[in-house]
A and B are shown apart, each in its own frame.
Chain A
Amino acid sequence: MNRLSLWMLRLILLAVLATTATAADFDYALKPRQIAEGTWVLLGRNEDFTFTNGGNIVNTAFVVTGAGVLVIDTGPSRLYGEQLRRAIAAITDESIVKALNTHHHPDHFLGNQAFPAQLISALPPAIRGIATEGRGFTDNLYRLSGDAMKGTEVVVPSQPIEPGEFSIGGHRFEAFSLDGHTASDLVIYDHTTGVLFAGDLVFNGRTPTTPHARIGRWLASLDRLDALAPRIVVPGHGEISELVGSNIGAISQTRNYLHWLESTLLRAAQRGLDMTEVMTLPLPPEVRGLAVIEPEFRRSVGHLYPAAEQDALAHPHQH
């Protein structure tokens, strides 16, 4: 029995080692798409995090300026960041001069490991958010995205970015410090090409997410974006959106959804609905077309309904 057990143990260990050695790295199959002069986007899927998509539900972008490459968001994992760098290197010989994180949600900064730490930049509140909450987000993404997360660790951006204009090569950029999707949302507008990198203040065809949202602030930020009258908007999630008539489709779509969400929750609270009843409300046709609407609406009820219902309850009486 003793000899047999040892033999079995060796066999098991061998099997384990063999599996580990042959497991190929997750391939995101990143394909940059040029949308303007020197400007490329990598569009993620309009889905939730899964083992199959490896967390690639987010848009990243880069601008080849003639004096180096500006990267906007680094993706959901170390492997994504490395594959993004290879995709950039396949297009240009220019070196990366700056990598930005638009906000502190994990799909936008967990590719940081692939970039030189001294080049990674974000707004100061987002840097603090990544430093304090980044670890928890990472654990959660390991749970949701599995093997694609292999070796991913939090790299906190080292360079605070100031709002205002900055130029790299032939491109004149402007950084905006906004909020509403989170407490700190960075938006980059390229005055040279008219491309607006909106981060998660704008979603297109996919239901906006609200774990750290303040809807009123978010709507005010969308007004600021509209005022820029950008030619093309790169949303944080979903297809790019081009100027049609006097407004940008994706900005209006996001605004309409937030208005609907806010009024739905307020009305439900005024009617006295329990949270579970709000989660199962029928969804109207105007939002049913958005990707992952059902799970995202339920998540948003969890995030936002407690405040709405508190407003609907009368002021306290004390004996």
Chain B
Amino acid sequence: MRLMAIALLLICVTQGMPAHAAPPAKAAKDPLQSARWEDMRQLLFKRQRVVFDERVKVVAPLTAENALNVPIRVDASALPGVRKVVVFADNNPITEILRFYPGLSQPNLGFRAKLQQSTPVRAAAQTADGVWHLGGVWVATAGGGCTAASFGSASLEWQRRLNEVSGRLWSREPEAGAAANQQRLRLRIIHPMDTGLADGIPAFFIEELKLTDAHGQLLMRIESLEPVSENPVFTLDIPAGHEGGRVEVSGRDNNGNLIKSWIEP
């Protein structure tokens, strides 16, 4: 009884405190004021230098109705010399969503992810000097995206079409917000992308995707992880002036199934 009373008192006291306690003095101040930020920093960046940087943009709806398919677009093209980008969600049971390594392509990527609850969604772009530049937004959602079974797991259709790639390469007209004449690449891969968090369904997801031009030069390498949505769709841009011909798509999932296809210009 005594313990219960103390617990109740503690609850009352903590509820009386400001919603966002001040971060430890040495940590960079998190503009998203997430309670999980310190854990994220320890988990992903350890002792490496991290700065919050508005040049790394994360675009996502403030309220995502469908937690299985939250559209996210990361754009670090305002930051020179990006060699790796890590996208993660503080409050997801599997925090890392994907990593990408821009080759000849712009350091931007659009895709969709599964979120388990309302969470900051962040992108950390690492520049050649090793510094991580962070941007992010809060996304509110009713959640449940990570513990739901994929639709594919309930049908046999995907077994026939597993790792099937459809895609298209656009030579874009100059338009607001897009660099003149850059090429846009969009592709979709049939894959259930099961997280392993739904009862009785093991994790089954695309681990690596490599996009190269017809000369064998790397456009982008993507390491996708469990929270990427089922039948993932990726959107990326290739700078103007690059005449790379058709795009080769290769990769594999965590069960060793290979992805091998191409997209004609």
Q: Is the CB of B63 within 8 A of A272?
A: no
Determine whether B6 belongs to the interface, using a CB cutoff of 8 Å to chain A. yes
Select which of A5, A309, A314 is within 8 A of B9 by beta carbon: A5
Q: A12-B8, A279-B61 are in contact. Are A314 and B1 (CB under 8 A)?
A: no
Q: A276-B71, A276-B72, A279-B71 are in contact. Are A313 and B9 (CB under 8 A)?
A: no
Q: Is the CB of A318 within 8 A of B164?
A: yes
Interface-lining segment among B125-133, B180-188, B202-210, B214-222: B180-188
What is the total of A-B residue contacts with beta carbons within 8 Å? 98
**A271: nearest chain-B partner, CB-CB:** B170
Q: Is the CB of A319 within 8 A of B260?
A: yes
Q: Shortest Cβ distance from B193 into chain A, in angstroms?
A: 14
Determine whether A275 belongs to the interface, using a CB cutoff of 8 Å to chain B. yes
- Bitwise, A283-319 to B at CB < 8 A (1) or not (0) is 0000000000001001100110010011011111111
Determine whether A274 belongs to the interface, using a CB cutoff of 8 Å to chain B. yes
Q: A271-B170, A314-B167, A317-B165 are in contact. Are A6 and B262 (CB under 8 A)?
A: no
- Bitwise, A228-245 to B at CB < 8 A (1) or not (0) is 000000000000000000
Determine whether A35 belongs to the interface, using a CB cutoff of 8 Å to chain B. no
Q: A276-B59, A295-B63, A318-B261 are in contact. Are A9 and B8 (CB under 8 A)?
A: yes
Determine whether A93 belongs to the interface, using a CB cutoff of 8 Å to chain B. no
Taken together as a complex, chains A and B put the C-alpha atoms of A73 and B262 apart, in Å, by 52
Q: Is the CB of A275 within 8 A of B71?
A: yes
Which chain A residues border B65 with CB–CB below 8 Å?
211, 299, 302
Which chain B residues border A295 with CB–CB below 8 Å?
63
Which chain A residues border B263 with CB–CB below 8 Å?
314, 317
Determine whether B73 belongs to the interface, using a CB cutoff of 8 Å to chain A. yes
Which chain A residues border B235 with CB–CB below 8 Å?
272, 274
Q: Is the CB of A12 within 8 A of B2?
A: no
Taken together as a complex, chains A and B put the C-alpha atoms of A1 and B263 apart, in Å, by 73
Determine whether A256 belongs to the interface, using a CB cutoff of 8 Å to chain B. no
Determine whether A25 belongs to the interface, using a CB cutoff of 8 Å to chain B. no
Q: Is the CB of A275 within 8 A of B110?
A: yes
Select which of A8, A272, A275 is within 8 A of B112 by beta carbon: A275
Select which of B1, B60, B187 is within 8 A of A313 by beta carbon: B187
Q: Shortest Cβ distance from B17 into chain A, in angstroms?
A: 17
Q: Shortest Cβ distance from B26 into chain A, in angstroms?
A: 34
Determine whether B19 belongs to the interface, using a CB cutoff of 8 Å to chain A. no
Determine whether A167 belongs to the interface, using a CB cutoff of 8 Å to chain B. no
Select which of B9, B72, B233 is within 8 A of A8 by beta carbon: B9
Determine whether A224 belongs to the interface, using a CB cutoff of 8 Å to chain B. no
Q: Is the CB of A316 within 8 A of B261?
A: yes
Determine whether A132 belongs to the interface, using a CB cutoff of 8 Å to chain B. no
Q: Which residues of B, 242-265, contact A by the 8 Å Cβ criterion?
A: 260-264
Q: Most chain-B Cβ atoms within 10 A of its Cβ — which of A5, A275, A279, A314?
A: A275
Which chain A residues border B184 with CB–CB below 8 Å?
272
Taken together as a complex, chains A and B put the C-alpha atoms of A1 and B165 apart, in Å, by 68
Q: Shortest Cβ distance from A140 into chain B, in angstroms?
A: 6
Determine whether A20 belongs to the interface, using a CB cutoff of 8 Å to chain B. no
Taken together as a complex, chains A and B put the C-alpha atoms of A280 and B110 apart, in Å, by 14
- Bitwise, B55-78 to A at CB < 8 A (1) or not (0) is 000011101111001011100000
Determine whether B21 belongs to the interface, using a CB cutoff of 8 Å to chain A. no
Determine whether B49 belongs to the interface, using a CB cutoff of 8 Å to chain A. no
Taken together as a complex, chains A and B put the C-alpha atoms of A127 and B101 apart, in Å, by 50
Taken together as a complex, chains A and B put the C-alpha atoms of A316 and B172 apart, in Å, by 22
Which chain B residues border A272 with CB–CB below 8 Å?
168, 170, 172, 184, 186, 235
Select which of B69, B72, B164, B260 is within 8 A of A302 by beta carbon: B69
Determine whether A22 belongs to the interface, using a CB cutoff of 8 Å to chain B. no
Select which of B2, B5, B6, B60 is within 8 A of A276 by beta carbon: B60
**A144: nearest chain-B partner, CB-CB:** B142
Taken together as a complex, chains A and B put the C-alpha atoms of A304 and B64 apart, in Å, by 14
Taken together as a complex, chains A and B put the C-alpha atoms of A49 and B142 apart, in Å, by 14
Determine whether B4 belongs to the interface, using a CB cutoff of 8 Å to chain A. yes
Q: A9-B8, A12-B12, A275-B110 are in contact. Are A312 and B260 (CB under 8 A)?
A: no
Q: Shortest Cβ distance from B136 into chain A, in angstroms?
A: 14
Q: Is the CB of B69 within 8 A of A2?
A: no
Which chain B residues border A217 with CB–CB below 8 Å?
none
Which chain B residues border A271 with CB–CB below 8 Å?
170, 172
Which chain B residues border A302 with CB–CB below 8 Å?
61, 64-66, 69, 71
**B178: nearest chain-A partner, CB-CB:** A277
Interface residues of A (CB under 8 A from B): 1-2, 5-6, 8-9, 12, 140, 143, 211, 271-272, 274-277, 279-280, 295, 298-299, 302-303, 306, 309-310, 312-319
- List the 8 closest A-B pairs by CB distance, nearest first: A274-B110, A5-B5, A275-B71, A274-B235, A276-B73, A272-B170, A9-B5, A319-B260
Could you write out 18 A-B pairs with CB less than 8 Å apart? A5-B5, A12-B12, A140-B142, A271-B172, A272-B172, A274-B73, A274-B110, A275-B110, A276-B73, A277-B73, A295-B63, A299-B65, A312-B186, A313-B168, A313-B186, A313-B188, A315-B166, A316-B164
Known: A276-B60, A313-B167. 14 other contacts (CB 8 A): A8-B8, A9-B5, A12-B12, A272-B172, A272-B186, A274-B110, A276-B59, A276-B71, A298-B61, A303-B66, A312-B168, A316-B164, A317-B263, A318-B165
